[in-house]
Chains A and B, each alone.
Chain A
Amino acid sequence: MARRVVVTGVGVISALGHNAGEFWQALAAGRSGIGPMQLVDASLLRFPNAAEVHGYNPAGHFQNKEVDFLDRFAQFAVIAAREAVRDSGIEWTPELRERSAVVTGSCVGGKTTEDEGFQNLYGLKRMRVNPLTIPRAMENAGASHISIETGITGPTYTISTACSSSNHAIGQAFWLVRNGVAEAAITGGSEAPFCLGNLKAWEAMRVVAPDTCRPFSKNRRGMILGEGGAMLVLETLEAAQARGARIYAEIVGFGMSSDAHHLTQPTLEGPSRAMRGALADGGIAPERVGYINAHGTATPANDPTEAGAIRTVFGAHAKRIAVSSTKSMHGHALGAAGAVEAVATVLALRNGLLPPTANFEELDPQCQIDVVPNQARPAQPEFALSNSFAFGGLNAVLAFRRWD
């Protein structure tokens, strides 16, 4: 009999604040963290706005020398993991350290570190690159630093599947614990994509909005890039209850699929199969799902496809499901998106309040779903899904159950 797995700690640093409490307050108020870009000179770009972590000073979190070893994305991973661990109250005994996992997601890793180094090389013709560039930029830097800091010595790795990275990571961690490979896990993701080189690449793709992120709105104009980190502590229900831990939610299902179709054009079938996979994995009857935290990027292509996939999977029940895209508030944090949204989903279940789709103006007739426009809604769904659909056609969906 498979073991049950629960979420006992959460941590978030994002455009909505430096901890999970601030994050939830903003989500509950429907307050967006999108604003004028400050990390990169926006006059060089076609899009002036971003969802940045404001008022952040690494010195408040790390020793001087430590910062040299940590790209901003790895800093966010460590900060979120510390909060999640503290929040869970879990104690890392020597036995538990050996039997615990760290699984993180990141899409662009330490691109900002590389960008700086290569600017020196190509632009300033300085023929030396910082020797810490490689360990700072590697996508697994966050996982490695979390492992070093906590002393966790079990399975530790990073998954990079573009915008699905964190959902794939959390799903893997969930299965490791459910199947007895690990007793507990720190899992989530982090991202810090704001450097000119990377933003220029996004600009060239023509998917970033010049105004703001309006998921499912008829007048949506694309995504808004975000940054941050989010982590969850997962452990068995048995262990959590034995130590009297507070349980946020149960993680019950994980589904994945590949479109096998196109690098950037989504299909109806791929996302549908990932949602069905998560339902099947958790043994969930579709009619018991009451909330979906959508991928909801606000690109022309994603939103109608996602709405269509939800209608395909849930049929007549689809119109009774509240679907919101919290990217309208914390932006699209790419490889961290799934983790940020998983935390939003478990907090929604715990607090009995569904965060809205902010910046919403007029429903796109191609997106016929209940998008919880602009105002959070009190509700107590039993099950919730959190969707991530990545460039490359890689889909990952998590399913959570409310814990009373």
Chain B
Amino acid sequence: MSEELTQRILKVIADSQKLPPEKVTLDSTFEELGIDSLDGVNILFALENEFNVNIPDEGVQGIRTIRQMVEALDKLFASGQTGAPAPGRA
């Protein structure tokens, strides 16, 4: 995954959780950031809006870290199931 895409994902997560951007890194766990399961579905909603994609339940269940989330999205985009990520918010 490109660095730019990774940064976009981190920003979406930080924005949706009202967290300072510098706190959200690839190595952060949901637990450290205080992200619970309801926050998780909120993040997925924010990511769906940002990239204009549908993220199915399969592949995102049991995600507990930011890295897992980025990797799951990478896999999803690569699979082409949801269409490539849009170049940016219009």
**What separation, in Å, do the CA atoms of A263 and B41 have in the docked complex?**
13
By the criterion CB–CB under 8 Å, are B41 and A205 in contact? Answer: yes
**What separation, in Å, do the CA atoms of A264 and B37 have in the docked complex?**
8
A interface, by DSSP: helix, strand, loop or mixed?
Answer: loop
Residues of B within 8 A of A46 (CB): 54, 56-57
Residues of A within 8 A of B38 (CB): 262-265
Asked if A151 lies at the interface with its beta carbon under 8 angstroms from chain B, I say no
Residue of B nearest to A209 (CB): B57
By the criterion CB–CB under 8 Å, are B37 and A301 in contact? Answer: yes
Binary A-proximity of B21-48 (CB < 8 A = 1, otherwise 0): 0000000000000001110010011000
Asked if A127 lies at the interface with its beta carbon under 8 angstroms from chain B, I say no
Separation in Å of the A224 CB from the closest CB of chain B?
A: 14
* Chain A 232-253 residues near chain B, CB threshold 8 A: none
By the criterion CB–CB under 8 Å, are A204 and B37 in contact? Answer: no
Residues of B within 8 A of A206 (CB): 41, 44, 57
**What separation, in Å, do the CA atoms of A183 and B39 have in the docked complex?**
47
Binary B-proximity of A188-228 (CB < 8 A = 1, otherwise 0): 00000000000000001110001000000000000000000
Residue of A nearest to B57 (CB): A206
Interface bracket on B: under 10
Separation in Å of the B5 CB from the closest CB of chain A?
A: 23
Residue of A nearest to B62 (CB): A300
Residues of B within 8 A of A210 (CB): 57
B interface, by DSSP: helix, strand, loop or mixed?
Answer: helix
* Chain B 44-74 residues near chain A, CB threshold 8 A: 44-45, 54, 56-57
Residues of A within 8 A of B57 (CB): 46, 206, 210
A262 contacts which of B36, B41, B56 (Cβ < 8 Å)?
A: B36
**What separation, in Å, do the CA atoms of A372 and B89 have in the docked complex?**
52
Interface core residue of B38, B45, B56 (most chain A CB under 10 Å)? B38
**What separation, in Å, do the CA atoms of A210 and B44 have in the docked complex?**
18
**What separation, in Å, do the CA atoms of A206 and B36 have in the docked complex?**
14
Interface core residue of B37, B41, B54, B56 (most chain A CB under 10 Å)? B37
Residues of A within 8 A of B54 (CB): 46
Separation in Å of the B59 CB from the closest CB of chain A?
A: 12
**What separation, in Å, do the CA atoms of A264 and B44 have in the docked complex?**
17
Q: Known contacts A262-B36, A265-B36: does B56 contact A204 (CB below 8 Å)?
A: no
**What separation, in Å, do the CA atoms of A352 and B44 have in the docked complex?**
47
Residues of B within 8 A of A301 (CB): 37
**What separation, in Å, do the CA atoms of A206 and B41 have in the docked complex?**
7
Q: Known contacts A46-B57, A206-B57, A210-B57: does B37 contact A265 (CB below 8 Å)?
A: yes
**What separation, in Å, do the CA atoms of A210 and B54 have in the docked complex?**
15
Residues of A within 8 A of B56 (CB): 46
**What separation, in Å, do the CA atoms of A205 and B38 have in the docked complex?**
8
**What separation, in Å, do the CA atoms of A213 and B41 have in the docked complex?**
21
By the criterion CB–CB under 8 Å, are B36 and A204 in contact? Answer: no
Binary B-proximity of A172-193 (CB < 8 A = 1, otherwise 0): 0000000000000000000000
Residue of A nearest to B36 (CB): A265
**What separation, in Å, do the CA atoms of A205 and B42 have in the docked complex?**
8
Residues of B within 8 A of A262 (CB): 36, 38
Residues of A within 8 A of B41 (CB): 204-206
**What separation, in Å, do the CA atoms of A341 and B48 have in the docked complex?**
37
Residues of A within 8 A of B44 (CB): 206
**What separation, in Å, do the CA atoms of A204 and B49 have in the docked complex?**
12
Interface core residue of B38, B41, B45, B57 (most chain A CB under 10 Å)? B57
Residues of B within 8 A of A (CB): 36-38, 41, 44-45, 54, 56-57
Q: List 19 A-B contacts (CB under 8 A).
A: A46-B54, A46-B56, A46-B57, A204-B41, A204-B45, A205-B41, A206-B41, A206-B44, A206-B57, A210-B57, A262-B36, A262-B38, A263-B38, A264-B37, A264-B38, A265-B36, A265-B37, A265-B38, A301-B37
Residues of A within 8 A of B (CB): 46, 204-206, 210, 262-265, 301
